[in-house]
Structure 1
Amino acid sequence: MNSLTALSNFGTDPGSLSADIYIPDNFPKNGPLVVVLHGSTQSADSYNIGSGWSTLAEECGIALLFPGQRLTNNVLGSFNWFESGDIHRGGGEPLSIRHMIKQVVDDHAVDPSRIFITGMSSGGAMTAVMLATYPEVFAGGAIIAGLPYRSADNLMEAFFRMKGYGSPSDCKLDVLVRGASEFDGPWPTISVWHGDSDQTVDSSNAGSIVGQWQNIHKVEGPPTRVETVDGFPRKVWCDADGREVIEEYIIEAMGHGTPISAEGDEGLGEEGKYMLEVGISSTRHIADFWGLTQ
C-alpha cells in the first residue's frame, strides 16, 4: 500500500490536527485534490488502506490530503463535529483543515476549482461541517455514515442524533447551512452513503443530509431518477440544467462503515474494522461522481 507523507507546516492550526498527504508521481499540474477524513478509532493510514484512495490516486492522478485527529482533542480520535469551537468558519478544526488545503494547493499546483472532500462517521459529519462553512472551497463532498451540519451542538445532542432522534427539520437544516458563510453559490455537489443496518449512526441521518441540501440546490421533492449500481439503488437529483447535484446510496444490510469492493480488476481497499466488503466501492463511485476517473 502506498505510504503517506506528513504535512508539517500549514498555517496556524487552531484545531491542533495532524496532516498527511499522498501525491502520486503522475499528478499533473492543475490536477484535483481530494480531502479524506477518517472515522473514530481510525487513522489517516488505516482509512487509506481500507478505502483504497491512494490506489485510485495512482490510477487517476489525484492529490490526497488526510487530516488527522489527535487523541488529546478527542479520546476516540473523532473529529469534533458537534463542539461549538469546531463547527464554525474561521476557527477550530475547520480552519485547520482549510489551512492544510491551501498549503497543498500552493505546494502542488492543485486546480482550486477541483477540490473535493469525503469522510466516514465523525469524518463524514466533519465533511458536512466543511461543506457548510467553506462551500466556496469545494466542488463536491461525499458523506459516508455521517450526519447533517449542525444537527447537534453538544455531546448529548450528538448521541441522540446518532440514534436517529430529534433531528432538526429540513428547513432548519437548510437555514443552518446558509448561515454558516456568506456564500450564495454555486454550491458543492453532495454524495451520501449509508448502511440501512447501521447501529451506530442511524440511516435516517442520510435522508436528513439530502434534505439539508435539496433546497440549496433547488431540487426539492422526489429524486429525478432511481437506478441500480452494482446491485444497489442510487437516487439522483438533477438541477434545472440536468446536472447531477445530489446522489444517495443506501446499502442494504450494511452496518456502520465505508462500503468497499476489494476484489477484481477494479477492486480497491482492504476489508477491516468499519471498512465493509459489500461489493460496491464507494471510493471509486464517489470519484466517478466527481468526474475524476475519466
Structure 2
Amino acid sequence: MKIGKITLLLATALAGAGVARAASLQQVSNFGDNPTGVQMFIYVPDTLAASPPIIVAMHYCTGTAQAYYQGTQYANLANSMGFIVIYPDAPDSGGCWDVHSTETLTHDAGGDSLGIASMVRYAIDTYGADPARVFATGTSSGAMMTNVLIGAYPDLFAAGAAFSGVPYGCFAGPSLWNSQCAQGQLIKSAQEWGDQARSGYADFSGTRPKMQVWHGSADTTLYPQNFYEEIKQWTNVLGYEESAGTNTTSDPLPGYTRATYGTDFEAIFAQGVGHTVPEQANDVLRFFGLS
C-alpha cells in the first residue's frame, strides 16, 4: 500500500512537471520616454526563439491592448514561432491613437509614437530581441499608427502591415479626427505623399521598411480612396512606379485582389468588405519573412 501511494505521488509529480506554465499578457511600466502615457502590454511565449523578432500589434479606436490580444492570432502564433508581441494601449479616452500631431509624426519628438518606439527599444534590450526584425501591424486607428511608425521610425521597423488605415500624415493637424482624410478627399501626388513620409525622419539614410496595406471597397469610415493614396505614398518611398503592381485575384480570399510590387510593397483590396478588413495574421507573417 505504501509503495503504491509513493508511486502514485511520484507519477503525479512527474506529470505536473511536464506541464509548461502558459504565458500571459503582462503590463510593463517604466519602459522609457512616454510623454503621452501609452500603456505597454507584452506577450512573451514560454519558448522564446534566440534573438526573437518583435511584432507591435495596435488596436482600433474604442479598442484596448487586451481586446487586440484576444481578437487576433499573434499570441497563438508566437507560442509556436517564438517571437514577442507588444500590444500598446492608447491613452485617449476613446481608444484612438495620436496620428495627427507634429510630435507623433516626427522621429523622437513625442506623441504616442515615441511611447511605442520606447517599448520596442525596451524589449530589444530586455529580451535580446533582433533589432533587424521588428514589425508593426494594426487595424483602423492602429493601421494609421502603423503608417506613422513606418514613416517616423524607419530605423526601428523592418516592415509594416496596415489594415484599413490612411497614409502617413493624412490626419496631420490640430484634431484627433480629420474628416477630409477619412472621407477620401485629401488627394496628393505620389511625390507629395512620399515627401511627407520621408519628412518623419528627414535625416534617415538607411533602407526603408517594407509595407503591406489592406482595405475594403465598402469602407464608409475610412473611405477606399485612402487605399489608393497609401499606394501612391509607399510606392514612391520604396522606389516603385504606382502602376507597376502585378495583380492576383482571390488572394488570399475570394473577392480579394493583391497587387505585388517586387518584394517590398503589397496592396490588397477586399471587394465588398467594409470597415475593417479582418487581420490575416499568417499572411502578415509571410510578408514579414517570419513564416
**TM-score with structure 1 setting the length:** 0.85
Provide closer, same or farther for how the CA distance between residues 2 and 249 of structure 1 changes in structure 2, counting only shifts above 3 A. farther
Asked whether 1:158 is paired with 2:182, we answer no
Higher RCO by CA contacts (8 Å cutoff, separation 6 or greater): 1
Give the conservation status (yes or no) of the 8 Å contact 1:2–1:55: no
Residues in 1 aligned to 2:28 and 2:176: alpha-carbon distance in whole angstroms:
34
Equivalent in 103, 118, 121 of residue 99 of structure 1: 118
Q: Which amino acid aligns with 2:198?
A: R
Count, aligned residues? 264
Equivalent in 173, 188, 192 of residue 168 of structure 1: 188
- Larger-Rg structure: 2
Equivalent in 225, 231, 235 of residue 214 of structure 1: 235
Report the CA distance between 1:185 and its aligned residue.
3.0
Report the CA distance between 1:287 and its aligned residue.
0.7
Report the CA distance between 1:50 and its aligned residue.
1.5
Report the CA distance between 1:184 and its aligned residue.
2.4
Q: Which runs of 5+ in 1 are unaligned?
A: 239-243, 261-281
Residues in 1 aligned to 2:177 and 2:60: alpha-carbon distance in whole angstroms:
19
Asked whether 1:236 is paired with 2:260, we answer yes
Residues in 1 aligned to 2:236 and 2:288: alpha-carbon distance in whole angstroms:
21
Residues in 1 aligned to 2:221 and 2:24: alpha-carbon distance in whole angstroms:
30
Give the conservation status (yes or no) of the 8 Å contact 1:121–1:144: yes
Provide the residue aligned with 1:194 in structure 2.
215
Provide the residue aligned with 2:35 in structure 1.
14
Provide the residue aligned with 1:252 in structure 2.
271
Give the conservation status (yes or no) of the 8 Å contact 1:194–1:206: yes
Residues in 2 aligned to 1:128 and 1:156: alpha-carbon distance in whole angstroms:
16
Report the CA distance between 1:98 and its aligned residue.
1.0
- The farther-off stretch of 76-85 and 128-137 is 76-85
Residues in 1 aligned to 2:189 and 2:125: alpha-carbon distance in whole angstroms:
39
Give the conservation status (yes or no) of the 8 Å contact 1:15–1:94: no
Which has the larger share of helix?
2
Secondary structure of the corresponding residue to residue 281 of structure 2: helix
Secondary structure of the corresponding residue to residue 233 of structure 1: strand
Secondary structure of the corresponding residue to residue 287 of structure 1: helix
Equivalent in 86, 96, 101 of residue 83 of structure 1: 101
Give the conservation status (yes or no) of the 8 Å contact 2:52–2:82: yes
Provide closer, same or farther for how the CA distance between residues 156 and 290 of structure 1 changes in structure 2, counting only shifts above 3 A. closer
Report the CA distance between 1:157 and its aligned residue.
7.1
Asked whether 1:30 is paired with 2:28, we answer no
Residues in 2 aligned to 1:2 and 1:197: alpha-carbon distance in whole angstroms:
38
Q: Which amino acid aligns with 1:252?
A: Q
Residues in 2 aligned to 1:25 and 1:167: alpha-carbon distance in whole angstroms:
47
Residues in 2 aligned to 1:258 and 1:68: alpha-carbon distance in whole angstroms:
21
Residues in 1 aligned to 2:171 and 2:165: alpha-carbon distance in whole angstroms:
12
Secondary structure of the corresponding residue to residue 180 of structure 1: helix
Residues in 2 aligned to 1:116 and 1:30: alpha-carbon distance in whole angstroms:
14
CA deviations 1:61-91 (Å, max 9, x no partner) are 2110111112xxx231100101233222121
Q: Which amino acid aligns with 1:102?
A: R
Secondary structure of the corresponding residue to residue 34 of structure 1: strand
Provide the residue aligned with 1:273 in structure 2.
none
Provide the residue aligned with 1:276 in structure 2.
none
Runs of 4+ in 1 over 3 A off after TM superposition: none
% of aligned pairs identical? Answer: 29
**TM-score with structure 2 setting the length:** 0.86
Give the conservation status (yes or no) of the 8 Å contact 2:163–2:214: yes
Residues in 2 aligned to 1:171 and 1:215: alpha-carbon distance in whole angstroms:
6
Give the conservation status (yes or no) of the 8 Å contact 2:98–2:176: no
Provide the residue aligned with 1:142 in structure 2.
161
